[in-house]
Amino acid sequence: MKSVLKFFSLFVLVSLLGSCGGTGTSKGKITITYFARATTDQLAIWEKVIDNFMKENPDIRVKIENVPYQEYWSKLLTMAAAGTTPDVIFMESTRLPAFVEKESLLAFDGLIKNDKDIKLRDFYPMALDISRYKGKIYGLPNDLAIIALYYNKDAFDLAGLPYPGPNWTWKDLVAAGKKLTLDKNKDGQPEQYGITHYSWDIAIYQNGGDVVDNPLNPKRSAFQTARVMEALNFCRDLGFKHKITPPPVQQQYRSVYEMFTTGYAAMTMDGHWMIPNYRKSIKGFRWDCVVLPKGRKKAGLAYGSCFSIPRASKNPEAAWKLIKYLAGYQGQQVLIADGFSVPALKTIADTQLYLAPPPENQRAFLDMIPAGHLKPQTEYLMQMEDIWRSKLDLFWLNKASANEVCREIDEEVNKVLKGVKK
């Protein structure tokens, strides 16, 4: 009986929104809360776009509740448990399944179907994939978190090397890294390394492996395979064999950001979200970015953020109206201006709002979108990531073999996943 009532309630809501084109009207002024996780600089941009929305929608007042990222998720879960959730959440795709499993989010499929303003073809398909769980969409996408290769153009020039190109391979990366690693006084401590690190999960995907049996429906861990262990060994060999990355002990107290911006490493792998920081911090050399080198194939990561509505929202009609604005062209024109993210909206990605330098080659991030690989879509992803992190520590220190750590990872992750699928 409870499930029937739940379905009926959702049907009524969808029908109500659909009957008025998904926008709705309000009698009097409605106040809704947008739960943000912005930095100080980003908050000013959110305030601007929200102000624009309120000017166009004088019947809706939007209150921004901003919480630091590290506190955001725990506070949101606490609020959900207490039934005091905000009206709009800036959801992260990697955390979305956990909220759906707790029946905390409203599915958007009915709203989208009944709303003439929403055209899913306007978004990159991958952006919709990361906003979807078990076949249903639980958010309109804001951005894609895409990783690319950043490089120091001056360092390449001094080494007499051509810049990295779209057809670079792991072999090219290692060869260039060796020439870019400089130990001028021959004391065994290079003043410049070739690259800060290589992301092990991306390496696994590029080598044709995966961390689970099926990212869309993970039932078992998949680390004990030749493709996974080859990829992990490749990443570790960059430091211990090829000596083109800093030792693990240095990476513990010196951030990737610091290594690249100070010229301590000539290349790094990072997301588009670093561009605003690089624009402010890099003064002593020219820099650009390019698509990631490929192993057995071209691959990268695919995740990002979307705007979601809690099921407990008391104003879902106004919340939906705000989300359409934020995820649409008007909102994205403002949100993309800080250079923080790769837009999920194709009409924004192909404009100077996004493509304006630096870096010159911002299209590199767009070119990586088709190669994006989904992280495991499971409510247990955070637990799995904790296991990966802790078990791989000894491996990076060269104190355990790939076979040893992969066996332990499979055992621990399988315990987490056991019984998840009915």
Q: Could you tell me the residue ranges of all domains in the chain?
A: 2-145+302-374, 147-300+376-417
Q: Which fold has domain 147-300+376-417?
A: D-Maltodextrin-Binding Protein; domain 2 (3.40.190)
- Out of 3.90.1150.10, 3.30.230.10, 3.40.50.2000, 3.40.190.10, the CATH code matching 2-145+302-374 is 3.40.190.10
What pLDDT was estimated at residue 170?
Answer: 98
- Phi, psi of 374, deg, nearest 5: -70, 140
pLDDT confidence bin for 419, thresholds 50/70/90: low
For residue 4, pLDDT beyond 50:
no
pLDDT mean over 303-313? 95
For residue 15, pLDDT beyond 50:
no
* Distance of alpha carbon 235 from alpha carbon 385, whole angstroms: 18
- Phi, psi of 305, deg, nearest 5: -125, 155
What pLDDT was estimated at residue 28?
Answer: 62
The chain-wide mean pLDDT, for the chain, equals: 91
For residue 50, pLDDT beyond 70:
yes
What pLDDT was estimated at residue 79?
Answer: 86
What pLDDT was estimated at residue 249?
Answer: 78
pLDDT mean over 271-275? 95
- 309-338 pLDDT, tens digit each: 999 999 999 999 999 999 999 999 999 988
- What percent of the chain has a predicted confidence (pLDDT) above 90? 83
- Domain 2-145+302-374 shares a fold with domain 147-300+376-417: yes
Token pair of 226 as six digits: 């030749």
pLDDT mean over 137-151? 97
* Distance of alpha carbon 94 from alpha carbon 109, whole angstroms: 20
pLDDT mean over 35-62? 94
Neighbouring residues of 175: CB distance < 8 A, sequence distance ≥ 6: none
For residue 251, pLDDT beyond 80:
no
What pLDDT was estimated at residue 248?
Answer: 87
